[in-house]
Amino acid sequence: MSIASPADSASRQTLVFHCQAYPALALDGRPVQLRLKHGLALLLLLSEAPRQLARGQLAEMLWASAPGDVGRARLRRLIHEINAILGLTLVLGDADTLWLDHAAVDIDSDVVQVRRAARQLLASPDASESRQSLETLLAPTAHQIADGFELNSDLFNAWLDARRLEHESLVIRALGNAAGPLVASGQPGLAAEAAVRLISLEPLGDTGHALLLEARAMLGDASGVESAYFSCAELMRTELGVRPSARIEAAYAAAQARLKASTDQEAPRPNRLPPIRFADADDGAVAYLELGSAQTTVIILFGLWSHVEVAWEEPSIRAILQRLARRWRVVLMDRRGTGLSERVGVQLSARTGADDVEAVRRAIGAERVWLMGNSVGGTIAIEHAHRYPDHVQGLLLYGAGSRGTWAEDYPWALTYQQLELWLDELRTSWGQATSWQQFAPSMASDPVAQDWWARMLRQSMSRNSVPLVLQAFAQMDVRDRLPHLRTPTLIVQREGDRVVRAGAARHLAASIPGAELVMLNGNDHLMWCGDTAAVLDQMEQFVASRTS
């Protein structure tokens, strides 16, 4: 094929080198099947080099045991094969050196993007563009280079190990440089996430632990401060046999002083994070927070993604909770497997979700509660109402369904194949605002909302737990519970919801005795996006008519 002219921007091709995990190439967004291990190693060497590299040096690094002339001959054949597979002359050279042809093709790599973001944070951590750079560094694989890749060459492997160490060190320095200004500028939630990432990369370093204590204190999270300090103390004791350093002790003392000062204030801050408490379930704790002190109690369950602390940081969610707390006692919880609740060794299902609700109900001492379920939270609320009917006053279901996957008699859910595609998308784009356009179309172009959604996904669960959560969701089916429910039920649904279709709501209304269905305009699946007031008006009126 002909090589595009550098002046012809419309015809220029873009080559992206994915080299955080096992190296892979994409040309104009299409994967390139380059199965030459030495070819991938050569591209790694050239993409990481700031200048042209000598042919002899490259041959020695790739084939350390081969004579010089043999190595150079292999290198010539390898260059020809790479260029032929790509269909363009990517690797150029003269008699002595080789380089990548940046003049003819746009070349980028995920590792280069991470370094660019890290250097921006080191240069100006509190600049307006630093938010996107920080999001890049918070991705779980941002610190990696060619994870799981090696060559049968000690020289190449030693070079790659050195590059990995240098790259990870850059990420650590940038995160440490950015977290402090985040606290100072009033973004403690994001600072806490950066601190947690720092601790995962440098668990025995002081910076991450000190910053986490400061951020937790600024959030007003007393239990988080204690947990952060004692986790650090235990780590230092088991790994090094020492106490936390003077810096960490000072940060802990300052965090305690900040918490005490905020507690002593006569007028509490309206947006301060309520205390996060934990209810004991069979195999782990269930996290929740509560607002209000009315006799009527409403327990709120969100969908697949749940993290009570990150939720509180979103102004729209906070406004909903504060509005409802003026009428009711409001409890927001994380099911086990998500958020701040137990994630290890949990068997996820509608039944365990119902048990989590019951654990919270017992912990708050409420005899009977209303359950507000959004999406998967609605499915779990139905299961709880079936299993614990004496403890449920009513159901408030929004954007909810009764089955996780498609069936011939339930055509409103995703098929298993569609779920597999969604899982692939979540895993390959982990750390980003995946599916935001589907969940909240009205907010699709809002970069602040996208950043928050990306954080919610990352904090709700780990990348490796996503398949378990989606598998549990796929297996949920509470349709046989519906005809036996004997509790007041309101179903609210937006006509254009792209995640849970309107047919699922109509099926609920037709199957639950006495259920009321309210269809609203709009296409947002998340109840805190779009016309939230219309949703809350319906729910408040429904509860008031049955508790007066």
Domains of the chain: 1-181 (no CATH), 186-273 (no CATH), 278-547 (3.40.50.1820)
Nearest alpha carbon to residue 25 among 39, 12, 11: 39
Higher pLDDT, 182 or 316: 316
Q: What pLDDT is attached to residue 548?
A: 59
Tens of pLDDT, residues 18-37 = 999 899 999 988 889 888 99
C-alpha–C-alpha distance, residues 212 and 105, integer Å: 43
Q: What pLDDT is attached to residue 531?
A: 87
C-alpha–C-alpha distance, residues 17 and 306, integer Å: 33
CB 505 within 8 A of CB 495: no
Q: Say if residue 9's pLDDT is above 50.
A: no
Sequential DSSP letters for 521-536:
S---SSTTSSSHHHHH
C-alpha–C-alpha distance, residues 235 and 398, integer Å: 43
Which helix (H) or strand (E) is 320 found in, with range?
Answer: helix 315-325
Q: What pLDDT is attached to residue 2?
A: 29
C-alpha–C-alpha distance, residues 542 and 528, integer Å: 19
Q: Which residues contact 404 (CB under 8 A, 6 or more apart)?
A: 376, 379, 413, 473, 474, 475, 476, 477
Q: Say if residue 184's pLDDT is above 80.
A: no
End-to-end Cα distance, the chain: 77
**92 backbone dihedrals φ, ψ, rounded to 5°:** -110, 165
Instruction: Give residue 40's identity as a one-letter amino acid code.
Output: L
Q: What pLDDT is attached to residue 54?
A: 93
**In the structure encoding, which two tokens stand for residue 227, read together?**
């947990």
Q: What pLDDT is attached to residue 166?
A: 94
What is the dihedral sign for C-alpha 381, 383, 387, 389?
positive
Q: Taking residues 69-86, what's their average pLDDT? A: 93
Q: For tokens 């009527």, name the residue.
A: 296
C-alpha–C-alpha distance, residues 392 and 389, integer Å: 5
Higher pLDDT, 9 or 520: 520
Q: What pLDDT is attached to residue 127?
A: 57
pTM (two decimals): 0.58
CA–centroid distance for 322 within its chain: 25
Q: Taking residues 388-400, what's their average pLDDT? A: 95
Tens of pLDDT, residues 130-154 = 777 888 888 888 999 999 999 999 9
Q: Say if residue 268's pLDDT is above 70.
A: no
Sequential DSSP letters for 276-314:
PEEEEETTEEEEEEEE---SSEEEEE--S---HHHHHHS
C-alpha–C-alpha distance, residues 247 and 221, integer Å: 20
Highest mean pLDDT among 6-10, 186-190, 371-375, 414-418: 371-375
Q: What pLDDT is attached to residue 171?
A: 93
Q: Determine the angle formed by the axes of helices 154-184 and 55-62, rounding to 10 degrees.
A: 100
Q: Say if residue 196's pLDDT is above 90.
A: no
Q: Say if residue 3's pLDDT is above 50.
A: no
Sequential DSSP letters for 167-204:
HHHHHHHHHHHHHHHHHHTT-HHHHHHHHHHHHHH-TT
Q: Say if residue 192's pLDDT is above 90.
A: no
Q: What pLDDT is attached to residue 269?
A: 57
Q: What pLDDT is attached to residue 129?
A: 60
Tens of pLDDT, residues 493-530 = 999 998 999 999 999 999 999 999 999 999 999 988 88
Q: Say if residue 380's pLDDT is above 60.
A: yes
Q: What pLDDT is attached to residue 11?
A: 61
Banded model confidence at residue 227, pLDDT cuts 50, 70, 90? confident
Instruction: Give residue 354's identity as a one-letter amino acid code.
Output: A
Q: Taking residues 117-128, what's their average pLDDT? A: 80
